[in-house]
Amino acid sequence: MTETLTHLINGQAVGGDATGESRNPSNLDDIVVRYPRGGEGEVNQAVAAARAAFPAWSEASPEVRSDMLDKAGSLIMARAKELGTLLSREEGKTLAEGTGEVMRAGRICKYFAGEALRRHGQTLESTRPGLDAQTYREAVGVFGLITPWNFPIAIPAWKSAPALAFGNTVVLKPATPTPAIAHAFGAILIEAGAPPGVFNLVIGEGGVGRSIVGHPGIDGISFTGSQTVGASVAEGAAKRQARVQLEMGGKNPLVVLDDADIDRAVTCAIDGAFFATGQRCTASSRIIVTQGIHDRFVQALAEKARSLRVGDALDPQTQIGPAVSEEQLEQNLRYVGIAREEGGSVLTGEEPLKIGTRGYYMAPTVIAHTNPDQRINCEEVFGPVASTVKVRDYEEALEIANRGQFGLSAGIVTNSLHHARHFRRNVRAGMVMINLPTAGVDYHVPFGGTRKSSYGAREQGFAAVEFYTQTKTVYIGG
Ligand code: UN1
C-alpha cells in the first residue's frame, strides 16, 4: 500500500484529496507516496498557526529551542539508514549520498541547537556621556521557506533550524518531486517537541510557493531553486517589503593547471561534475584546463567517467543514480545536443541508458573542445554533464572562470601556492575551493554566491543569524 501524506499544520496532520504522486526515478513503477496538492487555503491556515505560535516560541527560554533541535538532530541521525533509503528512493541520489545527506541534516539541527543559546549582541559606550548603547538580535516572525528537490532534507534543515533556533516560526513548502522526505523531517521536529504551529508544512506545487510569497503574514522568505523562479520570489517579496534570501544556480568553474596532480584533478572533476548525478548548484560543470596538461587530463577524465556505474539508487553498487525526472533528463540531453551543434566533441555519455528498471538514467557525459561563451558554458544544465575548455595559461583560465552571470563556487587544482592564492583573491565567486571539487560544503560556515547565484544574506553556520534575526538598538540613560 502506498502511503498518503498530509500537510502538517498547527501540529496536526491535515489531509486533502491525494491527487499528487511522487515516483521513484530509478523505477517508475514504484510510487513512493501520494500527496494532497495544497493551495492558498492551506497556506492561510499554516500562516495563521505560525503567527499564533510566534509570541510564546520567541519568548521561550533559548534552552527550550535548543533542546528541541538537539532532540530532532538525534532522532534524524538515529534513523539515518531508513531516512536515507527514503531520500534515495524519492530523489535518486545513491544510498551513500542519501544517508550522508540525512546525517548532514541531523548535524545541522545539532549545530543550531548550540546557536540558539548564543545571544548575539554588543554593549558599547554611547558618544554621549552617561549613556550606554546596546544591540541585540531578536526573532523576526514567520518565515516562509521554499526548498528544492536536490537536497530534500539538508536544505529544509539548514533553513528551518536557524529560523527556529532564533525564535521564529516556519511554513515550509518542499519541492514537488520530494514531499515524503520533507514530511519525515517535519514530523520529527514535532516529535522532538516543536509546539503546535511552530513548524508547518504545506505540500503542493508552484501555487503554494506563490501564496507564501504574497502572504502579508509571512515576514521573510528563504528560497533555493532556479534563477527564474528566484527572480519572481524577490519581486513578490520586495512589493510588500518582506525580507528575502535567494540561492539560485551556478556554472561553477574548476580550473586545472599544468602543475596539478593529475589524479587529484580527475578525482575533483568526477566528484564535482557527476556525483549526486550532477544535480547540485555547486556542481563543477565548466572545467577549464591549461594546454600542457589538457590532452592527458581530458583523456583520463573521459576514461574515469566511462567506468562509473550508473544504476538504481538503492543498489549499493551504484555510483551515479538517475536524473530526478523526465523533464530533467530531457533538459540534460537537450544541452548535450546544443553543445554538439556548437562544435563540442562528446567524448563519452549522452545517450539515455536502459538499465533493468524503467528509470531516468543517463551516462556521465564529457564534452571537450568547447568555447567559453557557448551555451553549454553559460547556462546551468543540472545533470551529469561537464564541458572542458582548453586555455593557454592561468591568466586566461581566470579570465574565463570569471565570465558569465553566476558566481557561486569556483575551484582550482594546482600545486602552485602563488596561483592558488591569486585565484582565491581574484575569482568572482562566493566560495573558493583549492584542490577540491566545487561542490561539498560544511554546515558551520557561510554558504552563498555572488552575482546571479545568490541574493540577500548568506545562509548556514554563523552567517544564518543575519537573516533570521533583526537587530534592536537600545540606549540606556543614567
Ligand atoms: C553542497 O555542494 O554540498 O542546491 C551543497 C544546491 C546547493 C547545495 C550544495 N544549495 O546544490
Q: Is the CB of 165 under 6 A from ligand 1?
A: no
Neighbour count for residue 430 (Cβ, 10 Å): 20
pLDDT value, residue 120: 83
Nearest CA to ligand 1 atom 7: 281
| CATH number of the domain located at residue range(s) 3-248 in this protein | 3.40.605.10
pLDDT value, residue 178: 97
The DSSP annotation for 239-293 comes to HTT-EEEEE----EEEEE-TTS-HHHHHHHHHHHHHGGGG--TT-EEEEEEEHHH
Q: Is the CB of 225 under 6 A from ligand 1?
A: no
pLDDT value, residue 354: 78
Q: Is the CB of 281 under 6 A from ligand 1?
A: yes
Pocket test for ligand 1, best of 380, 433, 441, 443 (most atoms within 8 A of CB): 441
Distance CA 264, CA 268 (A): 6
Domain ranges of the chain: 3-248, 253-434
Torsions phi, psi for 175 (to 5 deg)? -60, 145
Ligand 1 atom closest to Cα of residue 439: 2
pLDDT value, residue 30: 97
The DSSP annotation for 52-76 comes to HHHHHHHHS-HHHHHHHHHHHHHHH
pLDDT value, residue 274: 98
Q: Tell me which residue has cell 526573532.
A: 139
Amino acid letter at 168?
N
Q: Which residues contact residue 420 at a Cβ distance below 8 angstroms, ignoring those fewer than 6 apart?
A: 412, 414, 434, 435
Query: What residues are labeled active site?
Result: 247, 281
Q: What is the pTM of this model?
A: 0.97
Torsions phi, psi for 242 (to 5 deg)? -90, 150
pLDDT value, residue 444: 96
pLDDT value, residue 351: 75
The three grid cell numbers given for residue 11, joined into one nine-digit string:
501540529
Same fold, 3-248 and 253-434: no
CA distances from 399 to 58, 255, 288, 345, 394 (A): 48, 11, 11, 23, 9
Q: Which residues of the chain have pLDDT under 50?
A: none
Q: Is the CB of 148 under 6 A from ligand 1?
A: yes
CATH number of this structure's domain 253-434, picked from the four choices 1.10.3720.10, 3.40.309.10, 3.40.50.80, 3.40.50.300: 3.40.309.10
Nearest to 160 by CA among 197, 139, 186: 186
